[in-house]
Amino acid sequence: MKTCAKKININNVTDRQNFLWNAGVCLLYLTTAKLGLEYTIIGQTVTLLWLPSGIALVAVLIGGYRLWPGIAFGALIANAGTGVPVITLSVITLGDTLEPLCGALLLRRWNNFSVALDRLSDVLALILLAAFGSTIVGATFGTLGLIVGEEITFADFRLTWLAWWLGDGMGVLVISPVLLAGFSIARAIPTLFSSKKAVEAFLL
């Protein structure tokens, strides 16, 4: 089964459907963010497992770039609860929004990347381009946001950046394959039923 990332965007959706998709992404982002923020290691924002990164990436791969508002609002509300300054909140939210967009863009430019992850090259692409690559965006914006808001100093940049990058990367590695596998299976079910009915009709 092969499902290319560039072919799975949900087209021809109504404004209402688009709103519901974004609301769903926002809610899922907030739910997992709350869990991650329970285990921060630096301040109130840096954790070693940030599942929203993986959820946001999968949302864009499946639903397209139109789901960026749901990601942005989810990131904004989640980080607002940490009590960071407005400038810090704004920079972190921007980074959290751009990260999955960059990740999806990189994967879509990969050689026929399949969300089914049925080739070794797809798995490696997810790891290298998304988990290791695009998370640089979130870690950089997030760490700079903390510095601008005077939550940390430049002396803390390296350690904070590394922890942020690892947390976002782990989020992609842990939850993205599970969600992508579930999506691929769900897409295959109608086909399987159709094939079964065709066989039954032939036998009858």
Q: For position 200, what pLDDT does the model report? A: 47
pLDDT in tens, 108-157: 998 789 998 989 999 999 999 999 999 999 999 999 999 999 999 999 99
Determine the pLDDT at residue 144. 98
Its domain, for residue 95, covers 14-203
Cβ proximity of 117 and 181 under 8 Å: yes
Q: Is residue 195 in a domain?
A: yes
Q: How many domains does the chain have?
A: 1
User: What is the pLDDT, as a whole number, of residue 187?
Assistant: 74
**Rounded CA gap, 21 and 36, in Å?**
23
Inside any domain, residue 5: no
Residue 185: inside a domain, yes or no?
yes
Domain holding 174: CATH number?
1.10.1760
Domain-embedded: residue 2: no
Residue 9 lies in a domain: no
Which amino acid, one-letter code, is at 97? T
Q: Which of 5, 7, 195 is nearest to 116 (CA)?
A: 5
Q: What kind and span of H or E run contains 94?
A: helix 86-108
| Rounded-to-integer distance, Cα 3 and Cα 9, Å | 11
Asked if residue 4 belongs to a domain, the reply is no
Residue 63 lies in a domain: yes
> Is 7 a member of any domain?
no
- Sign of the torsion angle spanned by Cα atoms 107, 108, 109, 115: positive
pLDDT the model gives residue 122: 95
pTM of the model: 0.86
Which residue stretches of the chain have pLDDT < 70?
Answer: 1-12, 188, 190-204
Calpha distance 23→31 (Å, rounded): 12
